[in-house]
């Protein structure tokens, strides 16, 4: 076993240095790898790098299969080409391509991103198919299937030769890489990652899912337009057929193969999809490549067999694919005829064996070997943020009704919660407690009745409207942002980024020492506390906690009671608490509301509720309580 090495530099510094060295190497490469064909491949790799960074915004960060990217690439290319035909100079022609792709991309995003999964993929596929048809049919503008030919304009009076244009593409790729890195690591980027993990929690916390989806898609569309403009300037010729189904698949495979949610992954994917099909024409190079890949693929399953276990599919499948590719290299006379099949084998092996792509595998190896100096965190300040300054009580509910089919979930429910008051909401399972919180938070729309939050009446059925009014909540079933750290989960919920305040809030909920840990690495109990921290970061007027103690250990429950009590003592936030632990309700709540069959059957202090006959009846199922059950009534579970 080798111990990790600390090179004594920060991770960001190391990444910036490696990226700069990489681009200097790429700039120097044409002097070593000479020829117009090689230069054309390198330029195409740079263009595809820009294109895949844009595609990764939707496929990687949003987690949506975007089949419209090739069409947006085409629109950007034609926008630039037609601008050049009209006499536009170099920068304005590129800008025209960006705008030409950005506008339809944003217009497509608004309706399409309300869909999920296959429906979204089909909507983007329809757009892509329609785009190719329009480009073919508008012969008076695009010259149809015959194609469009242009001559690359001068760059500020400088006539760029192929090498100069390649260097320009490298500069643009480097700039796009840095800009995308900053954009996707900002609060907006955090929000995009958060909504990928939980769109419901993203809206309920006032972050907003749709607008961030549109931002990500529009950003990717603009980069597709930029790449399209550079592409047509590189080749000087356009034809609609070049932007069809084959290109869609190649681009998607490039993102997955290189590694999603990573600019490094987009670059590596671009290098692979550009170089690999062409480099396979060299038999010696192909044999060396496939032999090395086969040896690497067999390491994991062999180690598993040595430990007397059966290799998993993710271990065995890549090894089988590489073995088949090796057999092809040994026995097939003409490898050129098998080029696409071999490419598919490499992609299959990478996708199955490397779920995080090449970039993810390399990053894991580097993190195993090297331990970088961590960026110092700022000193935490404050604890529980004060709520927004508004008029009116935190929550007023009047005659609320909600039915699902023929079942009434909430029936004529009314309740007021005052500032700094904790109201417990209890009742048997299925009594309508969580449905009530879903109505107040905007997840459901009530049939009748009114909801007033901090003096305003938010639009019914809108999570964002309720959050904007001052409502925040946790969830009975955890809704963590798995791809974010604990600190980022707090920051993304703030209206204005304040890292010291976020660290202070993490310390308040007992997670100060886990600020850098990803949510996927946190325990169940820690995630419960982080959900409360997220909700508090929005500075709510009404905080709704849906069974926060569920699944917690006894020490964690004690810690939870202390946290909720501190919220009550230090902030004038109204709290609606659903909980099944009687001791928690008794210790924390000023008043307790009891639901049964969707109706409010009792409201009073914990002691009054414990003795209420209707509450006893709801829990024990009898109107008359026998003396033998008197003690049970005193200790019923909430």
Per-residue confidence at 625, pLDDT binned at 50, 70, 90? very low
Question: Exposed, middle or buried: residue 405 (CB in 10 Å: 0-12, 13-18, 19+)?
Answer: exposed
Tokens of 143: 């010259």
The pLDDT, as a whole number, for residue 352 is: 85
What is the spatial order of strands in the sheet that 448-453 belongs to? 407-417, 395-404, 448-453
Q: What is the mean pLDDT of residues 73-89?
A: 95
pLDDT of 1 strictly over 50: no
Domain 395-634 has CATH 3.40.50.300: yes
List, for residues 466-522, the tens digit of each pLDDT value.
999 999 999 989 999 998 999 999 999 998 899 999 999 999 999 999 999 999 999
List, for residues 558-595, the tens digit of each pLDDT value.
999 999 999 988 778 999 999 988 889 999 999 999 99
Per-residue confidence at 621, pLDDT binned at 50, 70, 90? low
The residue to which tokens 């192909």 are assigned: 286
Q: How many CB atoms lie within 10 A of CB 547?
A: 19
Give the DSSP H/E element, type plus range, for residue 537: helix 524-537
List, for residues 232-279, the tens digit of each pLDDT value.
999 999 999 999 888 888 898 889 888 888 899 999 999 988 887 676
Nearest residue to 205 via CA among 428, 535, 442: 535
Q: Which of 16-30, 84-98, 186-200, 363-377 has the lowest mean pLDDT?
A: 363-377
Q: What is the mean pLDDT of residues 299-318?
A: 89
Tokens of 407: 């079942």
The pLDDT, as a whole number, for residue 568 is: 85
The CA dihedral of 253, 254, 258, 263, to the nearest 10 degrees, is: -130
Tokens of 529: 């506390």
Residues in contact with 464: Cβ distance below 8 Å, sequence separation at least 6, in sequence order: 203, 206, 208, 442
d(Cα 192, Cα 398) in Å, to the nearest integer? Answer: 36
Residues in contact with 496: Cβ distance below 8 Å, sequence separation at least 6, in sequence order: none
The residue to which tokens 């009745």 are assigned: 449
Nearest residue to 93 via CA among 210, 256, 217, 231: 231
Burial 510-536 (b: 16+ CB within 10 A, else e): bbbebbeebbeebeebbbbbbbbbbbb
Tokens of 272: 């692979």
Report the percentage of the chain scoring pLDDT > 70.
95
The pLDDT, as a whole number, for residue 222 is: 96
Q: What is the DSSP string of 481-512?
A: -TTSBHHHHHHTTSSS--HHHHHHHHHHTT-G
Burial 261-290 (b: 16+ CB within 10 A, else e): bbbbbbbbbbbbbbebeeebeeeeebeebb
pLDDT of 46 strictly over 60: yes
Residue spans of the domains in the chain: they are 66-243, 395-634
Q: What's the chain's average pLDDT?
A: 88
> How would you classify residue 513: left for phi > 0, otherwise alpha for psi between -120 and 50, otherwise beta?
alpha
The CA dihedral of 41, 44, 46, 49, to the nearest 10 degrees, is: -120
Tokens of 69: 């990217």
């Amino acid at each position: 076993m080798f111990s990790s090495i600390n090179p004594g530099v920060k991770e960001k510094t190391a990444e910036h240095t490696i990226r700069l060295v990489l681009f200097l190497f790429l700039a120097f490469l044409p002097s070593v790898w000479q020829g117009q064909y090689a230069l054309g491949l390198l330029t195409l790799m740079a263009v595809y790098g820009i294109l895949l960074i844009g595609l990764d915004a939707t496929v990687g960060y949003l987690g949506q299969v975007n089949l419209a990217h090739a069409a947006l690439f085409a629109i950007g290319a034609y926008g630039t080409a037609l601008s050049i035909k009209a006499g536009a100079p170099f920068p304005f022609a590129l800008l025209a391509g960006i705008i030409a792709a950005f506008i339809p991309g944003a217009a497509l995003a608004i309706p399409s991103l309300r869909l999920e999964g296959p429906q979204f993929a089909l909507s983007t596929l329809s757009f892509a198919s329609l785009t190719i048809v329009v480009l073919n049919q508008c012969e008076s503008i695009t010259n149809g299937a015959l194609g469009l030919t242009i001559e690359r304009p001068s760059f500020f009076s400088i006539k760029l030769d192929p090498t100069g244009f390649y260097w320009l593409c490298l500069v643009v790729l480097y700039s796009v890489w840095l800009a995308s890195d900053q954009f996707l690591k900002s609060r907006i980027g955090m929000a995009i990652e958060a909504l990928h993990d939980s769109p419901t929690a993203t809206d309920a916390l006032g972050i907003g899912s749709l607008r961030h989806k549109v931002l990500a898609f529009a950003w990717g569309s603009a980069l597709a337009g930029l790449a399209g403009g550079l592409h047509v300037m590189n080749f000087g010729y356009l034809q609609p057929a070049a932007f069809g189904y084959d290109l869609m698949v190649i681009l998607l495979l490039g993102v997955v193969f290189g590694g999603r949610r990573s600019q490094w992954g987009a670059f590596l994917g671009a290098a692979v999809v550009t170089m690999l099909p062409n480099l396979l024409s060299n038999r010696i190079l192909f044999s060396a490549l496939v032999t090395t890949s086969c040896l690497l693929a067999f390491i994991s399953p062999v180690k598993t067999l040595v430990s007397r276990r059966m290799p998993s599919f993710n271990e065995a499948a890549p090894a089988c694919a590489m073995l088949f590719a090796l057999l092809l290299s040994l026995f097939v006379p003409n490898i050129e005829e098998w080029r696409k099949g071999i490419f598919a084998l490499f992609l299959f092996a990478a996708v199955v064996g490397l779920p995080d792509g090449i970039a993810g595998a390399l990053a894991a190896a580097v993190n195993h070997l090297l331990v970088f100096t961590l960026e110092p965190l700022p000193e935490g300040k404050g604890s529980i943020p004060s709520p927004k300054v508004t008029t009116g009580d935190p929550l007023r509910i009047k005659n609320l009704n909600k039915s699902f089919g023929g079942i009434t979930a909430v029936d004529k429910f009314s309740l007021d919660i005052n500032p700094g008051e904790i109201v417990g909401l209890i009742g048997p399972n299925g009594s309508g407690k969580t449905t009530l919180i879903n109505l107040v938070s905007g997840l459901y729309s009530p049939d009748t009745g009114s909801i007033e939050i901090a003096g305003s009446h938010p639009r019914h059925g809108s999570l964002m409207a309720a959050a904007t009014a001052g409502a925040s909540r946790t969830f009975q079933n955890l809704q963590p942002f798995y791809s974010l750290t604990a600190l980022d989960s707090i920051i993304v919920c703030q209206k204005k980024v304040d890292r010291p305040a976020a660290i202070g809030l993490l310390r308040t909920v007992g997670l100060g020492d886990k600020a850098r840990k990803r949510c996927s690495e946190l325990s169940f109990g820690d995630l419960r506390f982080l959900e409360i921290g997220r909700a508090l970061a929005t500075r709510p007027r009404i905080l709704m906690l849906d069974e926060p103690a569920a699944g917690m250990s006894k020490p964690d429950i004690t810690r939870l009671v202390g946290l909720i009590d501190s919220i009550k003592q230090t902030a004038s936030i109204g709290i609606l608490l659903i909980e099944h632990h009687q001791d928690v309700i008794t210790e924390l709540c000023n008043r307790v509301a009891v639901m049964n069959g969707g109706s409010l059957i009792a409201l009073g202090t914990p002691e009054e509720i414990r003795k209420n006959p209707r509450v006893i009846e709801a829990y024990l199922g009898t109107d008359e309580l026998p003396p033998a059950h008197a003690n049970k009534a005193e200790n019923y579970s909430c």
